[in-house]
């Protein structure tokens, strides 16, 4: 029989007097009466000390190692009963210590303690013989139980080790070990009936041993076991061909409580079995005679459960318990192979939540996680039995729709999802109406690979986003062309930033009361070598998504401030400069320092610069934006809210954000034509601005009627085509010189 590994024990230890009677010498004392030695391998001294204090016991001593090298050096010098091993150490992972223990044939019990969320750490530790795996942060009672169990395991292993040595001297001990083995040990007659089974069968399976003797082994096998497992249980072969490490399911005796069965109906064991033979001499030839089967079955149910849990976590999203990206990919590839054989159609949906970041920013990630789980449940209820809903990550989901009779089936499911989400979700102490953008791709029409189908569904989803969200659409070849053009434009934009293809134009701002130009707004343009002048509306969104907006904003700020310094040197010291910053710019911690450093580099007073932020910036991270706005105002810079009234902000933001100006969006100004001299939103914005002591600026002014209407509602500063289109710096300089020559602003402001 192969030598049992240390983790094959733990034997139920007999009473000490019984051992003394068997061997005629003092038995091995229980480890609890001596001092157990523990090694804590942890690079954080405070955490190590707290762990030692948590596990302190009069019969325990502790050593501490901070690195893998220090741990191995300590282990070379002395032995321990238990090692508490951190997974992530400064010089290597704890698996290196596990490998050293294995190579050195050491018997220390190991508990791995790790902050790793990946299942690889747990799998690696368990495969290398770790007794247990605890994930940080752990509960103190969890750690105590794990250590107590491990110490008991060590105690049992030591007792078993001594028993095995004494087994050579005592046949009586052999019988005792068999009876008290943690493994199920049995022998079968040639007909497959139990001739012997140890007591372990009673605690393991719930069957009385006496009731099994003489019964066929099929009584214990789970009915669904395959033929190979049945043959292994009644093994006839010996030597290398005998059954080894075969997983078999054994039936447990039903346990009833109040007429209802409870507990697991079967356990999984690792079976090792071989045939037993006697050899009779027939002349000069030894003839083997089959006596039956000898087998050992070890309960591995806990290990199987742990492996299944690790496998489940590797292929499922931990928040929603839905399949993750990897499992979705596997199922999609299988469904495509089946659809190809049958000539069938399947669909892939890419589902993205609209405005989900608003929930995280407003109510916190805990409420956001609750909302994601609730949305996942509703989405799943909208799908058919054979469909698969998966979470790609963040607020993105995918759905696999096999066996579609027509594209309309997918459209019906999408409509059902949109309808289902109309019912608001409870979030914190309020309600949130969630909407989604859904893109749909069909196989084989839209792609012949899982990657292509998912990508095309994603492209279709972004098309829905661009059209206003809360809808669904199918992928088309034209969308792919648009997507490729967008990818090309992104690549060329990165080159444009590096090669200086960006340039600035400046749109004048006029004051009616002062009858002159009082400022300019810097507007970025892209002069493409082949496409010509590209307006910001065609590339700013790409810049924000690709991360290029940071370098672009830095260039705009520096270039505009340099030009402003030149105008001030020419004597136009009262001119104000406005520069737009993207919401992404306010994600940077150093944005305030960048603004300050740029104005200082060009010797501009902060009061000459106005930073314009969009209303959507207020929704990204209210506290973070407010803090940075306060820092800018404290340094003396002006801050304006662009497109005020078009977003979701409330007047409460104006109390948190010490802004200096509000800009009326051109969409409201446009409605002042056609005899409509008053507009309720424009009047409200002007009233709010005056109430808070803020400047109010109207943009997009194009007609004289709009000018008079805005002036009547209390708006003094304006910009738009009526006063002048965005112009290069030289043209603005010429206009400033013209106004200076006349010593007054013109009575008619438009260019």
Please state the domain extents for the chain: 6-166, 183-306, 320-475, 501-742
Q: So what's the pLDDT on residue 279?
A: 81
The model's pLDDT over 210-251, given as tens digits with 9 standing for 90+, comes to: 999 999 998 999 888 878 888 889 899 988 889 889 999 999
pLDDT band per the 50, 70, 90 thresholds, residue 622: low
Domain covering 6-166, topology: Rossmann fold (3.40.50)
Q: So what's the pLDDT on residue 438?
A: 95
Q: So what's the pLDDT on residue 423?
A: 92
pLDDT tops 90 at residue 399: yes
Q: So what's the pLDDT on residue 743?
A: 56
Give alpha helix (H) positions in 343-406.
356-363, 365-381
Class of the CATH domain delimited by 183-306: alpha beta
CATH assignment of 501-742, given 3.30.43.10, 3.40.50.300, 3.20.20.450, 3.20.20.140? 3.20.20.450
Q: So what's the pLDDT on residue 167?
A: 60
What is the four-CA torsion angle of 197, 198, 200, 204, rounded to 10 degrees?
0
The DSSP output letter for 106 is -
Cβ-in-10-Å burial (0-12, 13-18, 19+) of 240 comes to exposed
Q: How far apart are CA 190 and CA 569, in angstroms?
A: 109
Q: In what order do the strands lie in the sheet with 109-114?
A: 60-65, 36-41, 82-86, 109-114, 132-135
Domain covering 320-475, topology: Alpha-Beta Plaits (3.30.70)
When pLDDT is averaged across residues 260-280 and rounded to a whole number, the result is: 82
Greater model confidence, 107 or 512: 512
Same fold? 183-306, 501-742: no
The model's pLDDT over 596-618, given as tens digits with 9 standing for 90+, comes to: 999 999 999 999 999 998 876 66
The model's pLDDT over 715-746, given as tens digits with 9 standing for 90+, comes to: 999 999 999 999 999 999 999 988 777 655 44
Range with the poorest average pLDDT among 117-121, 330-334, 407-411, 724-728: 117-121
Q: What is the mean pLDDT of the chain?
A: 84
The model's pLDDT over 109-168, given as tens digits with 9 standing for 90+, comes to: 999 988 877 777 778 888 888 888 888 888 899 989 989 988 888 888 778 777 767 666
pLDDT tops 80 at residue 8: no
The percent of residues in the chain predicted with pLDDT above 70, rounded, is 88
What pairing do the DSSP bridges indicate for beta strands 396-404 and 388-393?
antiparallel
The model's pLDDT over 120-134, given as tens digits with 9 standing for 90+, comes to: 777 888 888 888 888
Q: So what's the pLDDT on residue 258?
A: 54
Q: How far apart are CA 379 and CA 391, in angstroms?
A: 11
């Amino acid at each position: 029989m192969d030598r049992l590994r240390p983790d094959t024990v733990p034997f139920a230890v007999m009473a000490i007097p019984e051992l003394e009677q068997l061997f005629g010498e003092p038995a091995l004392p229980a480890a609890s009466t001596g001092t157990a030695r523990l090694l804590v391998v942890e690079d954080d001294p405070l955490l190590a000390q707290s762990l030692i204090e948590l596990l302190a016991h009069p019969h325990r001593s502790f050593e501490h190692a901070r690195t893998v090298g220090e741990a191995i050096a300590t282990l070379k010098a002395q032995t321990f009963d238990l090692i508490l091993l951190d997974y992530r150490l400064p010089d290597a992972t704890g698996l290196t210590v596990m490998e050293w223990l294995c190579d050195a044939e050491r018997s220390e019990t190991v508990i791995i303690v790790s902050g790793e969320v990946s299942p690889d750490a747990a799998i690696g530790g368990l495969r290398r013989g770790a007794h247990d795996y605890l994930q940080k942060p752990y509960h103190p009672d969890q750690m105590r139980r794990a250590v107590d169990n491990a110490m008991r395991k060590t105690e049992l292993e030591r007792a078993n080790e001594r028993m095995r040595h004494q087994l050579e001297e005592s046949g009586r001990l052999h019988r005792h070990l068999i009876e008290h083995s943690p493994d199920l040990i049995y022998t079968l007659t040639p007909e497959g009936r139990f001739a012997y089974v140890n007591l372990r069968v009673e605690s393991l399976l719930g069957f009385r041993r006496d009731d099994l003797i003489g019964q066929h082994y099929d009584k214990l096998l789970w009915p669904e076991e395959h033929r190979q497992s049945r043959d292994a249980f009644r093994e006839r072969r010996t030597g290398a061909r005998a059954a080894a490490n075969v997983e078999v399911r054994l039936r447990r005796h039903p346990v009833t409580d109040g007429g209802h069965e409870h507990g697991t109906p079967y356990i999984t064991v690792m079976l090792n079995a071989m045939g037993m033979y006697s050899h009779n001499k027939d002349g000069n030839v030894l003839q083997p005679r089959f006596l039956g089967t000898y087998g050992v079955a070890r309960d591995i149910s806990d290990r199987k459960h742990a492996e299944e849990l690790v496998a489940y976590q590797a292929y499922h999203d931990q928040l929603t318990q839905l399949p993750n990206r990897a499992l979705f990919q596997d199922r999609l590839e299988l469904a495509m192979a089946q659809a190809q054989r049958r000539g069938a159609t399947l669909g892939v949906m890419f589902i993205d939540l609209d405005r989900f970041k608003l929930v995280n920013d407003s109510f916190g990630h805990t409420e956001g996680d609750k909302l994601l789980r609730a949305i996942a449940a509703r989405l799943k209820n909208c799908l058919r039995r054979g469909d698969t809903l998966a979470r790609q990550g963040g607020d993105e989901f995918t759905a696999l729709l096999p066996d579609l009779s027509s594209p309309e089936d997918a459209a019906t499911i999408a409509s059902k999802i949109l309808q289902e989400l109309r019912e608001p979700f409870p979030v914190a102490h309020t309600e949130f109406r969630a909407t989604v953008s859904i893109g749909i791709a069909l196989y084989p029409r839209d792609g012949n690979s899982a990657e292509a189908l998912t990508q095309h569904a994603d492209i279709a989803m972004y098309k829905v986003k661009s059209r206003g969200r809360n809808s669904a659409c199918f992928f088309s070849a034209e969308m792919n062309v648009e997507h490729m053009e967008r990818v090309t434009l992104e690549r060329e934009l990165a080159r444009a930033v590096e090669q200086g293809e960006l340039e600035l134009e400046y749109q004048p701002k006029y004051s009616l009361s002062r009858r002159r130009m009082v400022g300019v707004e810097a507007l970025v343009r892209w002069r493409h070598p082949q496409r010509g002048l590209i307006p910001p509306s065609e590339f700013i969104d790409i810049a924000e998504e690709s991360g290029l907006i940071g370098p672009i904003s830095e260039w705009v700020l520096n270039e505009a401030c340099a030009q402003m310094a030149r105008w001030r040197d020419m004597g136009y010291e009262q001119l104000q400069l406005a520069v737009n910053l993207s919401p992404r710019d306010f994600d940077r911690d150093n944005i305030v320092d960048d603004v300050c450093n740029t104005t200082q580099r060009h010797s501009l007073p902060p009061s000459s610069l106005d930073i314009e932020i969009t209303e959507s910036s207020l929704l990204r991270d209210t506290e973070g934006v407010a803090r940075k706005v306060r820092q800018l105002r404290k340094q003396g810079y002006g801050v304006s809210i662009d497109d005020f009234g078009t977003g979701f902000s409330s007047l409460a933001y104006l109390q948190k954000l010490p802004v200096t100006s509000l800009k009326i969006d051109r969409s409201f100004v446009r409605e002042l034509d056609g005899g409509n001299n008053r507009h309720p939103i424009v009047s409200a914005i002007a009233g709010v601005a005056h109430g808070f002591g803020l400047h109010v600026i109207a943009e997009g002014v194009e007609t004289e009627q709009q000018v008079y209407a805005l002036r009547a509602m209390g708006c003094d500063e304006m910009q738009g085509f009526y006063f002048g289109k965005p112009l290069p710096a030289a043209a603005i300089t010429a206009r400033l010189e013209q106004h200076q020559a006349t010593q007054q602003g013109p009575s008619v402001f438009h260019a």
